[in-house]
Amino acid sequence: MQEEKKGILSALGAYIIWGIFPLYWKGLQHVASEEVLAGRVIWSFILTLIFVVILKQGKMLLVDFKQLWQHPKSFWLLVTAAYLISLNWFLYIWAVNNNHIVESSLGYYMNPLVSVLLGIFFLKEKLSKAQVMSFVIAAIGVLILVISYGQIPWLSFGLALTFGVYGLLKKKVLVDATRGLVLETFFILPVAVAYYVYVYLHGNISFLHTDMKTDVLIIGTGIVTAVPLILFATGAQKIPLYLVGFIQYVSPTIMLFLGVIVYGESFSGIDLLSFSFIWVALILFSITKIIEVRKSKN
């Protein structure tokens, strides 16, 4: 019971940090989203590599890389996953700094449903009638938004799809979470460094050319990336998967609150109606998953 409590607190901590990310990215609003992303990749690699060395897992990291290299399919799956999560990071950073936090929260509310759809198509997973109904309800909510906006919420879909496919690929490659982050950022590192060289040569760089606060925040992107991931990995090992799935709604809820209350983004009656359909769908889906797990244990 004590271990489960630690797991819940760890997972909750991870999703709270992910939820308050907009506060951090807003501090870098004056920096181009591409540079923020490049900095995040570079400093995530450096800091997680240091962390792995401190934990004396350097040899295990080399073993992970050799095993991946000997299995080309797993290697390229992880490379693809690395670039997908980078795209997800970029979309999120851009969204926050261009006042689309509410639309971002919609994407992360949609993410669990997208992940299950991917599971149906690629892992041949099956849904109960109640779970199918939850998808229909969620689809109605999204359709209301599409009709209201007059266009598809591409940003929300982009965030949900990139993270969903990332999760699907990671499911096929078994690597420790922290060492996996080192490898993923290592794969993207050449592009990030090349981008920094490019902006430096063109005189458009912010790092070391603006002020100390900007420099500290850019370096800190490595910490704010690694800490919640480590907390999540710890929590996921100690609590059931359905409980992790339920806790993950904390993150988009905090984001929605920040977008509407703190940053004054628009949230009309139509938005409320649409989100309500999605909330009902998520509640229905979560309840059915919990019932399924309990039945399987009996």
Helix 154-172 and helix 72-97, axial crossing angle in degrees, nearest 10:
150
Predicted pLDDT of residue 199:
92
pLDDT grade, residue 243 (50/70/90)?
low
pLDDT grade, residue 167 (50/70/90)?
confident
Q: Which two tokens stand for residue 23?
A: 């506060």
Distance between CA 157 and CA 282 in Å, rounded? Answer: 16
pLDDT grade, residue 198 (50/70/90)?
very high
Distance between CA 176 and CA 182 in Å, rounded? Answer: 10
- The burial class, CB within 10 Å (0-12 / 13-18 / 19+), for 135 is middle
Distance (Å) of CA 124 to CA 42, 114, 121, 292, 296: 37, 14, 6, 17, 19
CB 40 within 8 A of CB 221: yes
Count of beta carbons in the 10 Å neighbourhood of residue 1: 5
Predicted pLDDT of residue 281:
85
21-36 average pLDDT score: 93
CB 287 within 8 A of CB 246: no
Model confidence pLDDT, tens digit, residues 66-115: 999 999 999 999 999 999 999 999 999 999 999 999 999 988 888 877 87
Count of beta carbons in the 10 Å neighbourhood of residue 268: 9
Predicted pLDDT of residue 131:
77
Q: Is the dihedral of CA 85, 12, 57, 42 positive or negative?
A: positive
Distance between CA 63 and CA 57 in Å, rounded? Answer: 10
DSSP secondary structure, 109-167, as one string: HHHHHHHHHHHHHHS-----HHHHHHHHHHHHHHHHHHHHHTS--HHHHHHHHHHHHHH
